[in-house]
Structure formats: C-alpha cells, structure tokens
Amino acid sequence: MSEPLRIALAGLGTVGGGVIRLIETNAALIARRAGRPIAITAISARNRSKDRGVDLSRYAWEDDMVILGERPDVDVVVELVGGADGPALALARTTFEAGKALVTANKAMIAHHGLELATRAEAAKVAFKFEAAVAGGIPAIKGLREGAAANRIERVYGILNGTCNYILSTMEDTGRDFADVLAEAQAKGYAEADPTFDIDGIDAAHKLSILSSIAFGTAIDFRNVTATGIRRVLAADIAQADALGYYIRLIGMAETEVDEAGNRRLFQRIHPHLVHRDHPLAHVDGATNAVVAEGNFVGRLLFQGAGAGDGPTASAVVADLIDIARGDVGAPFSIPVSELDAAAPADTGHRRGKAYLRFTVADRPGVLAEITAAMRDAGVSIESLIQKGRAGEDSDQVLVAMVTHEGPESAIAEAMRLLEGSASLSAPPLVMHILEE
C-alpha cells in the first residue's frame, strides 16, 4: 500500500473530535477505499489541556495553528476552527502558499473568500474541498459536482439550517410560540447562545451561495443573497398554514435567469415559505437538512439527512480526505475560477407565485377595508382571507391572514408600500411565499 496521506487538524471541537474518532475507528476501511492510509500527524486548538474524550498524545501539537500549513510532515490541512476571517483564513492562505491541500467545514470563510482561496488552490495545483460546509453529512456538493455533472441545473433549493427547522417543526408539533421553542433549542444545544446567524437566515445564506456557485457555474456571491429569518413566525401562522394544507419551512432558493438584454442573472433568497404538504420538503422534521436540485435531464434530486453533529460532519470531512488520497484535485467550484460567470443579481419583481400575508391590526371598523383596498390598488388578487382572534389574551390587536392568487411579487411589494406607516397596523406585515408540490 502507498505512503499515508498525512493530515494536520486545526480545531478540536465537536467536529474535530469526530474526525479523530472516525479516522481511528474506521482506519482499515478508510485505507482500503482511499488506496492508502490516512494518518493524523499534527493538531492545534485554542486550549491544549481541555479533555476532548480522545487521546491526543500521539500527535504533534502546534500552539499557532497557522504553522500547521508549513509543516514538512503534512500533506493536507483540515480547518475546523470556523469564522470568515482571523486564524482560519490565515491558515488557509498559508496552506496554499505552501503547496498543500485544504479541507474545511467553514461555510462563512468560503462564502466571503471562496473565490480568492480557489484561485490560490488552482495556482498551487492542490485540492480545496468543503463538502462539510453545506448540510453536514449530506453529500450535496458531491451530488452536484459529480452525480449531476452532465445536467444543466435549473434550480437548487432546500432546508439549509437545522436550528430553524427544529424550531419550526417543534412549533408545528406543540403549538408553542417562537420564543419558547428557541429557549428550549438553546437548552438542548440545538441553538447557540446568540442564535442570530441561524434564526436570521445568515447561516443558510452562506450555504446557499456555495450551492449556487457549484450548481450554476457562477462566481460565489454571498453579498447578494436576500435573507429573511423566522423570528416573526407565530404559532398562529403555523396553525393557519396547517389548515390550508401547508407546513412552514425556512427555504433557501437559487436559480438563474436571462434578462431582456440576454444577460444571465442570479436569484438567491432565504425566506420562510408555506410548503405544500405533498412536497418532499414539507416532511423534513427536526434538525434535518435537505437539498433539492432540478436538472434538465435527471429531473428532481433530493438529498436529505443530518445537517450537523460530530458524526455526520466528520463523515463529510473524511470523505473529502479520501478523494484527495485517491488523487482527486479538480476545480473547487466544479469549473476553474476564471470561467465562473459573474452573474448580476436578478430582479425579483417579475417572479410569479402565491403568497401568505399576515397582518397584526387594531380591532376597529375599517381596518380590513384599508388592507383590501391596498391589495386592490396594487393589483393583488386575494384567494382567501381569514380574520383570527385577538393576538394575545389581553391584546386589543387581531390577526388577519390572507392567501393571494398567483401573481407578480412586484404587486405584493407595492401593496406593502401602500400600507407602510398605516396607524391600523401594529407591526410590519409578514409575507411568506408559497412552494407548491
């Protein structure tokens, strides 16, 4: 058997510990599938003395993780520190400068600096792999890069954040409101103490920008992902969606289009949707992730599984290491950076579909007429309208929800503009698009 693939591991948290356990437990199996052993030679983390449940004494330790990329006994660096900048980015740059391959689970770094790092990797003719950065153990990137490589991908979308999905599906099962379920998710470790990146859609936006680039051959463009999270979803919205035959899910969606001038444009959006109960994404529960890709020959592909955790994410990291051990370099984003399209952001106004609109309004005559007049003036056709009870036990506010007929998003935006600043509305309206089967 060939010489081992020697790796250095930066970051010994949940995933880093999982990588060590996986390599040690499945060493023989990994060696057979990779064609040679994969051996850890050096490690680094913030705290050397912390007990991580694995024996680290056999590995060389570096206090400065950036040095891992320069060590002569290292072929591949695995970066599991996280963060768009700082030590993680310094380590990645040093690794490529030293002519070594990099494997990372760092979606923020890729979303912000992926093109620069891919350019460095291509210049050094080394691998840059990041399967674990999107949807944990689900081989979504490999599925797009390899399994669907012969297809023109028409659309890629899915449930990309396990924390949000856990919160929404728990609200669905229990009837409890957002704040209560979020606190429970934090207590159980499903949500961070500061959950902003998750519940405001930023984490999902990082992942969607990566999937978009690979699916469509476009330059990664995180800055132009429109992200709306789930903070404003109420138990009443969940119940109303269920009565209409839908579940609420935070969906990341991307596709390309050609404008009137013949220029390719990129649509990328994270947004809570009402998902028809017959759609495969409707039944993705808990902290599970799922990615759907629609190809012009293969049709609809669904990748579903654990989106986080030590085992699933470590599995994706080691799968990348096995590919490198086999000699797979390839372009990080499927095609060379110089050939990626710099597609401008798409205008969403002409996009057509149905939407769910919810208003929290003062309980007095004339309010409903004001809302429906704004819909009429904006050209929004209402399919159904429901006036719920009071927003709270002691509240003088009521909830009004409606579902629109299919129409352009520009019409809904205009209706929201007409209602802006209305004294009848006690909170901004909630708009959720509808994903049919």
Active-site amino acid positions? 207
Give the C-alpha separation, 65 to 67, whole Å: 5
- Tokens 């990129």 locate to 266
Contacts of 182 (CB under 8 A, 6+ apart): 167, 191, 195, 199
Q: Which residues pair with 392 in a beta bridge?
A: none
Answer whether 300's CB lies under 8 Å from 151's CB. no
Answer whether 342's CB lies under 8 Å from 219's CB. yes
Query: Dihedral of the CA atoms 407, 412, 418, 419 (nearest 10)?
Result: 130
Answer whether 92's CB lies under 8 Å from 27's CB. no
Answer whether 351's CB lies under 8 Å from 410's CB. no
Give the C-alpha separation, 171 to 177, whole Å: 6
How many CB atoms lie under 10 A from the CB of residue 294? 18
Assigned token pair, 326: 């086999």
Answer whether 199's CB lies under 8 Å from 182's CB. yes
Q: Which residues pair with 134 in a beta bridge?
A: none
Rg (CA), the chain: 24
SS3 of residue 229 by DSSP? coil
Answer whether 250's CB lies under 8 Å from 168's CB. yes
Contacts of 117 (CB under 8 A, 6+ apart): 92, 93, 96, 102, 109, 110, 128, 332
Q: Residues comprising the binding site for NADPH?
A: 107
Q: Where are the beta strands (DSSP E) in 314-380?
A: 344-345, 352-353, 355-362
Give the C-alpha separation, 259 to 250, whole Å: 27
Assigned token pair, 145: 């890069």
Give alpha helix (H) positions in 53-129. 86-97, 107-124
**Taken in order 419, 421, 426, 430, is the CA torsion positive or negative?**
positive
Give the C-alpha separation, 369 to 275, whole Å: 29
